[in-house]
Amino acid sequence: MNKALSTVFASLLLSAALLAPASAVTIEGVDLPDTMSANSAELKLNGAGVRSKWFMDLYVGGLYVPQTTSDAQSIIGADEPQAITLHIISGMITSDKMTSATLEGFESATGGNTAPIQPQIDAFMEVFKEEIKEGDVFELVYLPDTGVKVLKNGEQRGVIEGMAFKRALFGIWLSDQPAQEDLKQAMLGKR
């Protein structure tokens, strides 16, 4: 290959690399980007891991925040843009199983006191009523003064208002009684 053609080829490769989405990490075949946008805020991948149950990997969870931190309580309590992504990697997850696990998570995250946010929980649970398939992606994006935007496969399914709901929702993965301790540690960037 002559020098001019070699230079053009190298430039094309560099351009292609710069145009490709940046991937911070790949877990179980799921590429999680370094950043994601939440309205005008750019969020950074704080950490990600796999939710497993009975020796089966169920989903890859990612946590996005404005500034990376390993302080779970500050994340839960922060009234700033944040997001959790759930990438379904198992055909074993059904609507009923996801509903049951999420309700159990709210119970744990609230110390059994879901009554103050029960209407918000009920509205949130609507997103899990339709079929859940391997490859589905849920995005739970908290925006101050808006609430939690719930998206499934990029399509907005609802907005749940209230900081108390946001704290309980993020607490499912980050509270003192998380859905899975090693997933919590991974989302906090400790693994």
- What are 138-176's pLDDT values in tens digits? 999 999 999 999 999 999 999 999 999 999 999 999 999
Q: Give the mean pLDDT of the chain.
A: 88
Summarize pLDDT for 8-39 with one digit per residue, the tens: 333 433 333 334 445 579 999 999 999 999 98
The predicted pLDDT at position 24 comes to: 73
Angle at 75 between CA 70 and CA 81, to 5 degrees: 125
What are the C-alpha distances in Å from 106 to residues 173, 176, 179, 190? 10, 12, 10, 24
- The dotted CATH code for 22-187 is 3.50.70.10
CB 160 within 8 A of CB 150: yes
Of 29, 132, 134, 31, the residue nearest 89 (C-alpha): 134
Residues in contact with 147: Cβ distance below 8 Å, sequence separation at least 6, in sequence order: 159, 160, 161, 162, 165, 166
Would you list the domain boundaries of the chain?
22-187
Q: How is residue 120 annotated by DSSP?
A: H
Query: What's the confidence (pLDDT) of residue 177?
Result: 95
For the question of whether the overall pTM of this predicted structure is more than 0.75, the answer is yes
Name the band, by pLDDT with cuts 50, 70 and 90, for residue 88. Answer: very high
